[in-house]
A and B are shown apart, each in its own frame.
Chain A
Amino acid sequence: MIEFQDVTFVHQNGVKALDGVTLKIESGETVALVGENGAGKTTLVKHVTGLLKPASGRVLVDGQDTKATSTARLSRKVGVAFQNPDHQLFSESVEEEMSFALRNFGFPPEVVRNRVAWGLELFGLEEYRKSSPLVLSGGEKKRLTLACILAWDPDVVILDEPTVGQDSLQKERLAGTIKLLKSAEKTVVVVSHDIEFLWPIQPRVVVMKAGKVVGDGPAPRIMQDEALLASARVAQPQLVEFHRSLSSKPLEPFADALEARRWVEGAFRP
Chain B
Amino acid sequence: MKLTNILDIEGLTFRYPEAPKEAVSHFDLHVPEGEIVVLAGPSGCGKSTLLRTVNGLIPHMYSGDYSGEVKVAGASVKGTDMRDLSQRVGFLFQNPENQIFMFTVERDVAFGLENIGVPREEMRGRVDEALRLLGIASLAQRAPHELSDGQKQRVALAGVLAMRPRLVILDEPTSLLDPKTAGDLVALVAGLRKELGTTFVVVEHRIDLLVKVADRLVVMSEGKKVLEGTPRDVLFGEEAESYGVATPSVTKLQKMLAHDGLATGGALLSPAELARELEERQR
Residue of B at shortest CB range from A12? B146
Chain A residues numbered 213-258 whose CB sits less than 8 Å from any CB in chain B: 233-235, 237-239, 241-242, 245-247, 256-258
Contact partner, A37, options B176, B275, B279, B281, Cβ 8 Å = B176
Please determine whether A257 and B256 come into contact, CB atoms closer than 8 angstroms.
yes
Q: Is B59 an interface residue (CB 8 A)?
A: no
Interface digits, B181-192 against A, CB 8 Å rule (1 contact, 0 not)? 111000000000
Interface digits, B202-229 against A, CB 8 Å rule (1 contact, 0 not)? 0001101000000000000000000000
Q: Is B129 an interface residue (CB 8 A)?
A: no
Contacts of A110 in B (CB 8 A): none
Candidate in B205, B247, B260, B270 with the most chain A CB atoms within 10 angstroms: B205
Contacts of B146 in A (CB 8 A): 11, 13, 15
Q: Is A194 an interface residue (CB 8 A)?
A: yes
Contacts of A270 in B (CB 8 A): 282
Q: B52 CB to closest chain A CB, in angstroms? A: 12
Residue of B at shortest CB range from A86? B95
Please determine whether A164 and B175 come into contact, CB atoms closer than 8 angstroms.
yes
Residue of B at shortest CB range from A238? B250
Q: Is A193 an interface residue (CB 8 A)?
A: yes
Please determine whether A245 and B272 come into contact, CB atoms closer than 8 angstroms.
yes
Please determine whether B272 and A37 come into contact, CB atoms closer than 8 angstroms.
no
Please determine whether A167 and B42 come into contact, CB atoms closer than 8 angstroms.
yes
Please determine whether B148 and A37 come into contact, CB atoms closer than 8 angstroms.
yes
Q: Check A165/B94 contact, CB under 8 A, given A37-B178, A233-B178, A239-B253.
A: yes
Please determine whether B180 and A36 come into contact, CB atoms closer than 8 angstroms.
yes
Q: Is B44 an interface residue (CB 8 A)?
A: yes
Q: Is B25 an interface residue (CB 8 A)?
A: no
Q: Check A193/B177 contact, CB under 8 A, given A37-B149, A139-B43, A238-B208.
A: yes
Contacts of B182 in A (CB 8 A): 193
Q: Is B196 an interface residue (CB 8 A)?
A: no
Contacts of A195 in B (CB 8 A): 179
Contact partner, B149, options A15, A83, A239, Cβ 8 Å = A83
Q: Check A242/B43 contact, CB under 8 A, given A164-B175, A193-B177, A265-B260.
A: no
* Cα of A260 to Cα of B176 in the assembled complex, Å: 30
Please determine whether B278 and A264 come into contact, CB atoms closer than 8 angstroms.
yes
Contacts of B149 in A (CB 8 A): 37, 83-84
Q: Check A168/B208 contact, CB under 8 A, given A36-B178, A37-B148, A239-B271.
A: no
* Cα of A195 to Cα of B271 in the assembled complex, Å: 15
* Cα of A257 to Cα of B235 in the assembled complex, Å: 15
Residues of A in contact, count (CB < 8 Å): 50
Q: B225 CB to closest chain A CB, in angstroms? A: 16
Please determine whether B150 and A257 come into contact, CB atoms closer than 8 angstroms.
no
Q: A12 CB to closest chain B CB, in angstroms? A: 8
Please determine whether B253 and A261 come into contact, CB atoms closer than 8 angstroms.
yes
Q: Is B265 an interface residue (CB 8 A)?
A: no
Contacts of A257 in B (CB 8 A): 249-250, 252-253, 256
Contacts of A234 in B (CB 8 A): 178-180
* Cα of A137 to Cα of B111 in the assembled complex, Å: 27
Q: Is B30 an interface residue (CB 8 A)?
A: no
Please determine whether A265 and B262 come into contact, CB atoms closer than 8 angstroms.
yes
Q: Is B257 an interface residue (CB 8 A)?
A: yes
Q: Is A166 an interface residue (CB 8 A)?
A: yes
Residue of B at shortest CB range from A248? B279
* Cα of A52 to Cα of B244 in the assembled complex, Å: 37
Interface digits, A26-45 against B, CB 8 Å rule (1 contact, 0 not)? 00000000011110000000
Contacts of B249 in A (CB 8 A): 196, 199, 237-239, 256-257
* Cα of A120 to Cα of B251 in the assembled complex, Å: 33
Contacts of B40 in A (CB 8 A): 167
Please determine whether A196 and B208 come into contact, CB atoms closer than 8 angstroms.
yes
Q: A157 CB to closest chain B CB, in angstroms? A: 21
- 6 example contacts (A-B, Cβ-Cβ < 8 A) are as follows A37-B148, A84-B149, A164-B176, A168-B205, A241-B271, A256-B249
Known: A233-B181, A257-B253, A270-B282. 8 other contacts (CB 8 A): A84-B149, A139-B44, A195-B179, A235-B180, A242-B272, A245-B271, A246-B275, A247-B279
Q: Which residues of B contact A (CB under 8 A)?
A: 40-44, 48, 94-95, 97, 146, 148-151, 172, 175-183, 205-206, 208, 241, 244-250, 252-253, 256-257, 260, 262, 270-272, 274-276, 278-279, 281-282
8 closest A-B pairs by beta carbon, nearest first, are A37-B150, A235-B179, A245-B275, A167-B244, A168-B246, A139-B43, A242-B271, A241-B271
